[in-house]
Structure 1
């Protein structure tokens, strides 16, 4: 049987002091079994000795030398300087940080074995902080390459190597997978694969060895997520079957027909809501694919069944936009929609809370204010979370928990690549809106150097004179919100001077909510021709007459942000354009990002390439606060992800004991993190 995971708060490392155990914990190693899967970063060749005269500058090598002199020099800074030699020549060793114990052993006459990079220096050929040990007699050289492991401050390689070697001898590395699966998938032996990777560089290892480790890691993740999914289905939730009266009335009065994709997804959502266990569905749709109307239908279905429904959005601009759109659709049906936000006047807020608490209002829209203490729902049956990736795991759960095991619909306009949906989101049911409503015009994207800014200002003037409206997005300055505000105000002042005949508005994160709302309302009414904005307009802003967007310093933005911003135009019949102004010189990453956004309009393709550029850790953002990241598996290996997913289902139904042993090996004490 595999070694049991360490109990929470207890770290089990035979041969390690408590201080070392704490440092191991910092590396995410919670028990001795975890050491087995702590694989080397690289290997160093300590199998032979190089003569000093044969040293190659810039290359790492190992030498056997004798100390000739050792002294502390004070210029240009305090350092320990040792002169050493072998039969072929001499070297200088320099230590900027040293202990008295090191000074004591580096005395003239001491024989050393040193390893490090050689370079030219002030005193001739030198090594800075080489790794060394004192030789006592003839010591045999290692016969294999020396592994170098990921570590943390205060945890030396020698200690790590000793503990890992011991773990490889003591931990039970017996097979956790049934023989039938190992044979069918032609998997390499687990124990032999792990031992091989501790002694063989990655590029020299057999491909089957890496494949086995990657598969096992993916399998553990899939088993854990599928368990979480199954556990959730054991909970009871209100069955929101409804009679279809309100949903049919909404569909009849809408000025448009649902697309085929919207109809398919509505059937999926309606089917989930009718079940007696909580829905946990992620609705993905590119910018403008029509997610809001599906949220409205789901909320109406909850009302038909006698329950309340709440929609939470990450920003006040987006939440208010949802509120206005839902109120416009639902008031004609005789339904009141309550509004809750942090900036609301106390009296208004208390009145809304009283109605919600008494069950007099069935539909509620708001920001984070919905999850504050004191917000009580009479019968919450459905929680809708828009732009779910903007909320942390706990925030999403907080709204859901306002109703006992209520249904949850998460919406995202940031498309998730298929392999990511199959791996990190395997505990959710995923619906995809892969069809845009008719009448949406494709947005033309142009890349323009900042030196041609005057031409772009003239283009804005022309568009606004022709009755169109435009956005001018100010550069992203992540380090400082104050600096970003200053830049936005300066841009507003410059454009106001350059375009005196236009009405120009300014909106940014520091504006009070009512001021922000007033500017946005004036823009919607076409009283403002050009809106200067920070990224607060990234999601949810819907002004069909706006056909031109300029993004300044586009090289500072991520791909998802650029795609979201671009989605603010192209919402009407007029031909739309998004102009990306960039400053030279461009980094390789910035160049790659701009190339991707220029060549692609499809959000899913952009997301796939973004995943390739950044890796899953950055891509999934807040989802990772509660999810162990994959260390060895490559999500672009779709076949392996598919195989792991199918095998997880098979093991949970046919070999549950094997599945538990596999989880214990790979996740140890971290499995509970997935419950969120």
Structure 2
């Protein structure tokens, strides 16, 4: 396939616009052809001012009747034009002498812009214009997403060039489009049309992407994604992993007997699914999802026990030290009594460890004495050498990038074997997301909570009623209950938000004499964090003011009230995770979402939708579905997007029928038309699909 730009070796010889094209990822002709317009401008007709309506984007031909620089209320060029039916004032707030010259009185011009009507007549602010006359455009003018150094005119020319040169031959197997209504257009016709639509098209069908040309593009994109995911799943199925059979009365059964609670039916079912995977000589690639507090850690511990029984090691990696430590404490409590008679240990690895402790842990891991290794990103560092890693467990998997997951898989000894991979998430994956971005994963779902969990009442309260909330805290503390108060921590304004957390801590300390109020935030040294957390966990601290470091993994059954300040700043899944920190004991629990309506007393639409969803449902799956609706897959998936190619055109909400079709078509195409499948993937992803193998 030909390319429009010079090879990277000649990078210095490229012009500024060419470098900008490369930076935007428009390297190949097909990339340019698939860079579709954001919107269109209609330059195919001239309208009269008398026929226009306020808000119209219109093109008029008129004569300049006045041109002057005005200084009220600010410096601007004010030009009055007359099109023989009415007059219109053009305003330019940035201008040069050349602009004044081009708009001299008597000049006949063609002007295009948004018309604003009012009691003082028609106006356009910074319209585009050129001399009148000349032929009108025969198609709608595309407006592309671009950067400041890349003008629309240059980009339009580059896109049309790419479109002319790109190989747009059909990669759908013969006879496919007949079965896929309304996808009847070819890729070539669709792309040519979308870059230069005829003026008679209903603009609404282009804007809502329901036009047959858009349907073709979406079907193509979803098929490419499904092919890529299925291919990586098949490649993984060809790899080898150690197989572990569950031993009768072994470590798994001993752990089960020692647990101070009975597993739920959902935990038992999911445990069987994982055990079945571990018994096969093919690497497990399973996502274990379950709502906050559904008991995923114990399921992971039972899976680890099966591998450890067979003489292999297991690693558990969590995104933060606090979460890793929560797992570590739980696992030590459950497993160490069973490990001791066997001479096995649980090792702990994090970035903040002292050199001496770290060296000792690395030796335990290398010798195999550490049967279970728990930690943060430190687990995948180069100096960590496992004797025989059999199972890798990643908690809150969406917070790890693809490269980190690949590094964990690479920790296997050089026997040509892969470790089994179990990923856990407390953010349930909506069905359409599982069908598309997670099509290469097997999904196990814990869909019931352990008995004894109290439903949490959620209340939305404006921050002007803060005093009432403090009164509520006073009552809870008097009853011997504990309370979380969470302040947001947004990176761009970290200093400001830390001040907010510190001030909240001070004001609550003052308002609650005699009660211990603690402060926890990300900048504190780890020993301090640990000390604060242990005081709260032990029940000595009544109120914990914190930034979101307590989001996951903290388990304090006596905590009955969660206050989330500036709740409008948090994502829906994050709010749901935070709410899950209360209601873990028998006491009636509540979550207060304190929101600030801003200067104008109005909440943004997205923030309102989030808070409304939180108040209406406690179902993690429903929360996840609404979160996907509000945020879209890019944000929802977090770090996964560095591997999975994001959908640019298809919409998981409206295009489920196309997704279903692509899921059925992908295996047929890989089996019967492998050459077309390869060509299709290459067109859409280039080399990017390699990353999906994580």
TM over 0.5, yes or no?
Answer: yes
CA contact (8 A) 1:476 1:556 kept: no
Equivalent residue runs for 1:99-138 within 5 Å: 111-119=108-116, 127-134=124-131, 138=133
Give the direction of change, closer, same or farther, for the CA distance of 1:664–1:104 in structure 2 (3 Å limit).
farther
Normalising by structure 2, what TM-score? Answer: 0.88
Cα distance between partner residues in 1 of 2:202 and 2:412: 53
Once the two structures are overlaid, the 10-residue window that deviates more, 538-547 or 55-64, is 55-64
Following superposition of structure 1 onto structure 2, how do residues 331-370 of structure 1 map, counting pairs within 5 Å? 331-333=336-338, 334=340, 335-370=344-379
Matched pairs, number: 669
**Which aligned pairs between 1:42-441 and structure 2 lie closer than 5 A?**
42-51=39-48, 58-65=55-62, 87=84, 93=90, 95-97=92-94, 111-119=108-116, 127-134=124-131, 138-186=133-181, 187-190=183-186, 191-198=188-195, 199=197, 200=201, 202-204=203-205, 207-241=211-245, 243=247, 245-333=250-338, 334=340, 335-404=344-413, 405-441=418-454
Q: CA deviation at 1:321?
A: 0.9
Q: CA deviation at 1:383?
A: 1.6
Q: Tell me how large the CA RMSD over aligned residues is.
A: 3.1
Alignment pair present for 1:520 and 2:533: yes
Structure 2, unmatched stretches of 5+, are none
Range moving further from structure 2, 285-294 or 296-305: 296-305
**Counterpart in 1 of 2:19?**
22
- State the SS of the aligned residue for 2:314: strand
- CA distance, structure 2, for counterparts of residue 336 and residue 600 of structure 1: 42
Shift of 1:249: 0.9
Q: 1:42–1:201: 8 Å Cα contact kept in structure 2? A: no
Shift of 1:208: 3.9
Q: Greater shift after overlay, 645-654 or 195-204?
A: 195-204
Between stretches 284-293 and 461-470, larger displacement belongs to 461-470
Going from structure 1 to structure 2, the CA distance change for 1:520 and 1:277 (only over 3 Å counts) comes to: same
* CA distance in 2 between partners of 1:166 and 1:238 (Å): 53
State how far apart, in whole Å, the 2-side matches of 1:4 and 1:326 are: 57
Q: CA deviation at 1:529?
A: 2.1
**Cα deviations by residue, 1:315-363 (Å, 9 ceiling, x for unpaired):** 1111111111000111111242111222222222211112112222121
- Take 2:154 and 2:536, find their aligned partners in 1: how far apart are those partners? 64
Q: Larger RCO: Structure 1 or Structure 2 (Cα < 8 Å, ≥ 6 residues apart)?
A: 1
Q: Distance in 2 between matches of 1:524 and 1:329?
A: 18
Q: Which deviates the most, 615-624 or 239-248?
A: 239-248
Structure 1 residue 628 and structure 2 residue 645: aligned?
yes
Is contact 1:341–1:370 with CA below 8 Å preserved after alignment? Answer: yes
> Aligned partners of 1:81, 1:499: CA distance in 2, in Å?
63
Other structure's SS at 2:618 match: coil
Measured at CA, do residues 64 and 462 of structure 1 come closer, stay the same or move farther in structure 2, by a change above 3 Å?
A: closer
Tell me the CA shift for residue 307 of structure 1. 1.7
Q: Secondary structure at the match of 1:278?
A: coil
Structure 2 match to 1:567: 580
Unpaired segments of 5 or more residues in structure 1?
Answer: none
Quote how far apart the aligned CAs of 1:173 are: 3.0
8 Å CA contact 2:316, 2:375 repeated in 1: yes
1:96 CA drift (Å)? 5.0
Matched-pair contact (CA < 8 Å) for 2:185–2:212:
no
CA distance in 2, matches of 1:473, 1:145: 51
Tell me the residue number matched to 2:677. 659
> TM-score scaled to structure 1, two decimals?
0.90
Query: How far apart in 2 are the matches of 1:403 and 1:5?
Result: 40
What is the distance in 1 between the residues matched to 2:2 and 2:658?
Answer: 27
Is the 2:290–2:426 Cα contact (8 Å) retained in structure 1? yes
